[in-house]
Amino acid sequence: MKATTIYEGSHQWVVFGRDPEKPEKIIDTNQYLISTSSRAILLDPGGIEIFSSMLAATLHYVPIDQITDLFASHQDPDIISSLGLWDQVLPNAKLHSPWLWEGFIRHFGLNNIEYVPLQDDGGVIDLGEITLQLIPAHYLHSSGNFHVYDPHAKILFTGDVGAALEPEDGAPMFVENFDEQIPKMKLFHQRWMPSNEAKNDWVTRVRRLDIDILAPQHGRLYKGDDVKRFLDWFEALDVGVAIK
């Protein structure tokens, strides 16, 4: 599993992905670790198939007893079907996830970890040294869905928004030419995102944030001017039921 540090300051962000050992037919995913000097959280820790690679990769950065929190943006298996295995190695952790999906996510196995149900209007995750903001992203694509904003690092984790389907040979972690990205993300956004109204509400909300890096759960990350290019492109795209 490839690991790339995307922020290093008073705390750290690392993205894991491009796993050469994952089974061929499951979609490649990006998992994110945010760590302070004493605590760490995994954002969308991934599917059951990549659990062992993810655990090993994470332990290169933090000791297991410092992983105190997990976040699942929504209920999909590529996000959180590993939960039953994390539940065995992190019995005292908390899982922050939409209230809407609690009865479904528990099907992945949850006996020890505490489920913290996120209310629709968002809120925060307090890690002590840093506070992460939960940005509502409902219907993008899931009907109960959140993104995570770190105002200090200026990183917005966007789940499936911004996702691109890359070839299997290990694409770079960052977008290098935005126009070349468009064919890899157009169909994904048109088909997975159901509502223009939800999309445009989200674009308005996100434009108010100061963002250096937009970090999706599939494909490449956007930084600098590519963040604005992505928001402009997504705003102009008809998605879901708006497609004639």
Nearer to Fe ion, 26 or 237 (CB): 26
The interface mask with Fe ion, positions 162-201, x = CB under 5 A, is ----------------------------------------
| Residue ranges in 13-143 assigned as alpha helix (H) | 51-59, 77-80, 83-89, 102-105
Nearer to Fe ion, 101 or 233 (CB): 101
Cα(151)–Cα(146) distance, integer angstroms: 16
Torsion angle of alpha carbons 150, 153, 154, 159, nearest 10°?
A: -50
Rule CB under 5 A: say whether 160 interacts with Fe ion. Answer: yes
Rule CB under 5 A: say whether 78 interacts with Fe ion. Answer: yes
- Is 114:95 a contact under the CB 8 Å cutoff? yes
CB of 85: closest distance to Fe ion in angstroms? 19
CB of 131: closest distance to Fe ion in angstroms? 25
- Is 17:30 a contact under the CB 8 Å cutoff? yes
CB of 38: closest distance to Fe ion in angstroms? 30
Nearer to Fe ion, 64 or 187 (CB): 187
- Point out which span in 17-25, 105-113, 157-165, 193-201 binds Fe ion (CB under 5 A): 157-165
Nearer to Fe ion, 62 or 175 (CB): 175
Rule CB under 5 A: say whether 49 interacts with Fe ion. Answer: no
CB of 66: closest distance to Fe ion in angstroms? 26
Q: Which of 49, 76, 87, 226: binder of Fe ion (CB under 5 A)?
A: 76
Nearer to Fe ion, 49 or 160 (CB): 160
CB of 47: closest distance to Fe ion in angstroms? 10
Residue whose entry in the numeric block shows the structure tokens 């992190």:
90
Residue nearest to Fe ion (CB): 76
Q: What residues contact 169, with CB distance under 8 A and at least 6 apart? A: none
Cα(156)–Cα(50) distance, integer angstroms: 24
Closest CA to 31 of 12, 65, 66, 57: 57
- Is 17:29 a contact under the CB 8 Å cutoff? yes
- Is 212:154 a contact under the CB 8 Å cutoff? yes
Q: 230 φ, ψ to 5°?
A: -65, -45
The interface mask with Fe ion, positions 90-129, x = CB under 5 A, is ----------------------------------------
CB of 128: closest distance to Fe ion in angstroms? 29
Q: How many residues does the chain have?
A: 244
CB of 44: closest distance to Fe ion in angstroms? 8
Tokens of 86: 């994390």
Cα(74)–Cα(207) distance, integer angstroms: 22
Interacting residues with Fe ion (CB under 5 A)? 76, 78, 160, 217
